[in-house]
Structure 1
Amino acid sequence: MKNLQIEKIVDQILVQSGSSVKVELEDFFPGDRFAGGKYNFGSHTITLYIEEIKAQCLQVFSSMDQFEDYLAIVFAHEIGHAEDCELAELIQKMEEAGNDVLRKRIALQIERNAWDYARMLISQDLHPLMDTIISYSLEPYYEALEVSA
């Protein structure tokens, strides 16, 4: 997929959202996580990691047929972080949390808030696909809470 197509998808969702967030496109996430996107609260910037999103799409759907929709859904989720009016408060609560279980619950809430917002940006016909992606995305958070609880 050409970067021009990717930029078109990103621009369309960005305009639709009305967000003022800055967007950067990179190939790979620099850490050891499997992240398709990252929102930086301090700089109000979303970075999309295109090769990571491709790998996730292949892992979840065993094909690249859904890549454009997958990219759109991941980006909408990151906009969800950028537009979350509770995010600053949740980050502060997370930093002040006295135990690991509480931090994990707050992390899950941050993710759920972003997915709830993303659902408003993604057309209804893509919601079944989105539900699959959300399930994969939230699974580690639920597993971490089960292990901690």
Structure 2
Amino acid sequence: MASHTVTLYEEEIKRQCSRLFGSLDRLEEYTAVIFAHELGHAEDPQLEDLSLLLDGELTIQERNWTALQIEENAWRYAEKLLADMDQAFLAKIITESLAAYREKVAGDIA
């Protein structure tokens, strides 16, 4: 956060794109989505406070909810930036990205 930079790991992005879509045909679009998401973190006015919470003494449930909030905030920002993008494509990426966070929160509720 302090450096005000966004880092994208190209090989990881290629791996994710290939795993999610079966090829690299939409790699450029996929990279744009990941970049918009990372910009969402950079522009999130709540990120610093939420990150400080994660550094504090939280229950596992509170930690899971906070981590989910951080990710959902970034995705909301990305969705605004990518309003003209294929929404089914974007939704698939967001759903996949949030799945592990949502599973943890759902496990907390059960």
Query: What is aligned with 2:53?
Result: 93
By how many angstroms is 1:97 displaced? 4.1
Q: Which amino acid aligns with 1:76?
A: A
The count of residues paired between Structure 1 and Structure 2 equals 109
Of 123-132 and 53-62, deviating more is 123-132
Tell whether 2:75 aligns with 1:115. yes
Query: What is aligned with 1:147?
Result: 107
Q: Segments of 4+ in structure 1 off by > 6 A?
A: none
Deviations 1:60-87 (A, max 9, x none): 1101111100000000000000000111
Tell whether 2:91 aligns with 1:131. yes
Q: Which amino acid aligns with 1:113?
A: N
Query: What is aligned with 1:76?
Result: 36
Greater helix proportion: 2
Q: Which amino acid aligns with 2:31?
A: L
Quick one: distance in 2 between partners of 1:98 and 1:113?
20
TM-score (structure 1 length as normaliser)? 0.69
Q: Which amino acid aligns with 2:8?
A: L
Tell whether 2:21 aligns with 1:61. yes
Quick one: distance in 2 between partners of 1:128 and 1:66?
13
Gaps of 5+ in 2: none
Quick one: distance in 2 between partners of 1:122 and 1:97?
36
Quick one: distance in 2 between partners of 1:68 and 1:126?
13
Q: Which amino acid aligns with 1:95?
A: D
> What percent of counterpart residues are identical?
43
Gaps of 5+ in 1: 1-40
Quick one: distance in 2 between partners of 1:74 and 1:136?
12
Quick one: distance in 2 between partners of 1:61 and 1:116?
22
Q: Greater relative contact order: 1 or 2 (C-alpha under 8 angstroms, separation 6 or more)?
A: 2
